[in-house]
Amino acid sequence: MIKKFSPSQTLLALAIAFLALSLFKFTLYVPAIISVIEKTIKTVDSVSPRVEDIIDEVALVRLEISKVRELVSQQTPVILAQVQASLPVVQQVVVESEYYSRQLPTVLSQLASIEQQIEQLQKSIPAVLKRIDAVVETTNNTTTEVAQWRPHSIRYLEEIELSRDYIPQYLSRIENTIVNAKTIGSEASSGLVSGFFKGVISLPFEMVSGLTGIVDVDSRSAKYLTAQDVALMQEKVVTLLNDSNQTKSLWQNVKSGNRGTIMKGKTTKRNKKQCINVIFKNYFGKDKETLTEIMCIDEKGLWKVM
pLDDT averaged over 10-residue windows placed end to end, the chain, 306 residues: 67 83 82 84 75 80 85 82 82 81 83 85 82 81 73 65 54 42 39 40 60 83 89 89 90 91 91 91 91 88 84
What pLDDT shows up at residue 207? 61
What pLDDT shows up at residue 259? 93
What pLDDT shows up at residue 194? 38
Q: Among 260, 262, 237, which Cα is nearest to 248's? A: 262
What pLDDT shows up at residue 2? 56
What pLDDT shows up at residue 290? 93
Per the confidence metrics, is the pTM higher than 0.75? no
Edge-to-edge, what's the strand order for the sheet holding 259-270? 248-252, 259-270, 273-284, 287-297, 303-305
What pLDDT shows up at residue 158? 65
What pLDDT shows up at residue 289? 94
What pLDDT shows up at residue 156? 61
Q: Is 275 left (phi over 0), alpha (psi -120 to 50) or beta?
A: beta
Each domain of the chain, given as residue ranges in start order, spans 59-97, 176-305
Beta carbons of 302 and 237 less than 8 angstroms apart: no
